[in-house]
Structure 1
Amino acid sequence: MATAASQVILHPLVSQGLKFGSTTLGRDKTYRAVQYFARFFAWYLLNKGDKLDAARWNALKSHLGTARKLLRLGKPIEHLQSALRTSLASGPAAEQILAIGRQIAYFGYLSYDAVIWANAIKFINLDPETAKRVSKTSSRFWLAGILFSLVNGVIKTARLASEAKRLQPGKSWGEKDVAEETQRETRLNAVKAAQVAARRQFTIDILDVWLPATGVGLTNLNEGTLGIFGLITSILGMQAQWKAVNGK
């Protein structure tokens, strides 16, 4: 019995899960996945007429949203640092400007998000109209950040496709020695990995953009659709973080 229990508790997958959960980003992505599933499921139950269970899932969604705001209290400064580092780095000018714009927009979004959290826990007291304006401003910054990221993704994808084509073996390379061929293959592999990451981020952005767009009133998607979109992007984010933490 003890052996069976140890095999379960000490299983590598359990250890990897604990390692993933020990990171703030890992916990945030997990909470986000549950939050958006709850958003979808509450909508589903409400449409079935099950108001009591829908209220329970809505409460879970709201409390997880508040908890995630607490986890993100230090994030605005991280985005400012990222903007500064990007401005000091070398790279294509258009991509650099768009990346800086994204980071600054997320700084604004998460700064207003902190005010929303403080009001939600009654640390400060905003009147309903002010709270509504703060929430809408937060969504506008969030939307701007995603739009910057989407445009950056299109430009970056085109650049990487062009570079990958140039790096393909062919006549343009001619006769090269072993060292140069190895260098070409290494660079090509790096470009292919960057293409995968760019496609993943573009997928996340194209789904997430509907969340703030609905928040500012530009679209009118129902709660179920937004819940599914958020759940999908949360799972994609969890996969990326799992790979970053566990290396697989």
Structure 2
Amino acid sequence: MSTDILSSIIKFNAQTNGRDKVCRLFQYGCRLAWGRLQHKDKKELLQTIKNVESMLSMTRKLLRFGKSLDFLQGALKSIHIKDTVLRLTLTLSKINQAFYLLFDHILWFNSVGAIKVDREYWGKISARFYLATLLLNSIRDLYGIYCVIQEELTVRKKLSSSRYKNGDTNYQSLNRRPATMLEITQQNIPLVLDTVKNFFDLPIPLCTLKYMQLSATKQGIFGLISSVVAVATVWNPNLKIVPS
């Protein structure tokens, strides 16, 4: 193993966010596994996997303890963004995520027996804030896609009008040519990844709130895909959408 890779692993593991994303990856891997096993005669293995998933969920809640304050602080910073759409979506998203984690802490205290609350009731409240966060993040992504398309259309319009400059029908701009879909995607990988992550995360709170129904297997697949993207963005900060 090269020194660079080892250093990257150490750096990744040193981050609480990195450990959280890895736990999430295994958590949904477990959900996928027990979703595949629930119709088979392997009750002991099925229960073991469910217990591991539950432990990973509680571990993630503990790792994110106090992170509500980080998101509230982030909201105070994003409120100064000049772009109105980005300012509103990012600020409201962070506020909703702060409340989502706050209610998630209540569920953790209930799980360890420190307090007694209605788990289903508080779980749905937490899921509503999580859903609002994802919807706001998705609006931010769609706005980003709209801006990219508008920018490319503007460039193409300028190129089209410059082809006959000074009456020269053979004139072509040497500085820029219309970008292909692949090139546009490569130039906006953080935006694409964030859109994918939010898209595959959306069914999770929707299922909790019973607005839609997905099997444990499908939930596991969706969670795995979004978790892989999340791990990648923590591993390589250049893949993270900015501002976020």
TM-score grouping bracket, smaller chain normalisation: 0.7 to 0.9
- The question of 1:229 aligning with 2:222 is answered yes
Q: Could you report, residue by residue, the CA deviation over 1:18-68 in whole angstroms, capped at 9, with x for unpaired residues?
A: 221111111111111001000110121122221110111101100000000
Q: Counterpart amino acid of 1:161?
A: I
- Quote the residue 2:94 is aligned against: 103
The DSSP-based 3-state class of the residue aligned with 1:47 is coil
Decide whether aligned partners of structure 1 residues 172 and 25 sit closer, same or farther in structure 2, where only a CA change above 3 A counts. farther
Q: How far has the Cα of 1:167 moved from its partner?
A: 5.1
Runs of at least 4 residues off by over 4 Å: 171-175, 191-194
- Quote the residue 2:116 is aligned against: 125
- Tell me the distance in 1 between the aligned counterparts of 2:208 and 2:125: 9
What is the aligned-residue identity percentage?
25
- Quote the residue 1:149 is aligned against: 137
- Tell me the distance in 2 between the aligned counterparts of 1:74 and 1:193: 36
- Tell me the distance in 2 between the aligned counterparts of 1:61 and 1:55: 10
How much is the aligned-residue C-alpha RMSD, in angstroms?
Answer: 2.6
- Quote the residue 1:203 is aligned against: 196
- Tell me the distance in 2 between the aligned counterparts of 1:49 and 1:63: 23
Q: Counterpart amino acid of 2:101?
A: L
The answer to whether the 8 A contact 2:185-2:192 is kept is no
Q: Counterpart amino acid of 1:233?
A: S
The answer to whether the 8 A contact 1:24-1:71 is kept is yes
Q: Where in structure 2 are there 5+ consecutive unaligned residues? A: 166-173, 176-183, 240-244
The DSSP-based 3-state class of the residue aligned with 1:88 is coil
- Tell me the distance in 1 between the aligned counterparts of 2:99 and 2:152: 36
- Quote the residue 1:69 is aligned against: 61
Q: How far has the Cα of 1:192 moved from its partner?
A: 7.0
TM-score when scaled to structure 1? 0.81
- Tell me the distance in 1 between the aligned counterparts of 2:162 and 2:217: 52
Decide whether aligned partners of structure 1 residues 115 and 166 sit closer, same or farther in structure 2, where only a CA change above 3 A counts. same
Q: How far has the Cα of 1:171 moved from its partner?
A: 6.6
Q: Could you report, residue by residue, the CA deviation over 1:46-104 in whole angstroms, capped at 9, with x for unpaired residues?
A: 2222111011110110000000000111211111111111111212x123212222111
The answer to whether the 8 A contact 1:164-1:192 is kept is no
The answer to whether the 8 A contact 1:42-1:57 is kept is yes
- The question of 1:240 aligning with 2:233 is answered yes
- Quote the residue 2:178 is aligned against: none
Higher share in helix: 1
The DSSP-based 3-state class of the residue aligned with 2:38 is helix
Q: For 1:7-18, list aligned pairs within 5 A.
A: 8=1, 11-18=3-10
- Tell me the distance in 1 between the aligned counterparts of 2:32 and 2:133: 24
2:104 to 93, 96, 113: 113
- Quote the residue 2:124 is aligned against: 136
Q: Where in structure 1 are there 5+ consecutive unaligned residues? A: 1-7, 176-180, 183-190
Q: Counterpart amino acid of 1:198?
A: L
- Tell me the distance in 1 between the aligned counterparts of 2:195 and 2:238: 22
Decide whether aligned partners of structure 1 residues 164 and 85 sit closer, same or farther in structure 2, where only a CA change above 3 A counts. farther
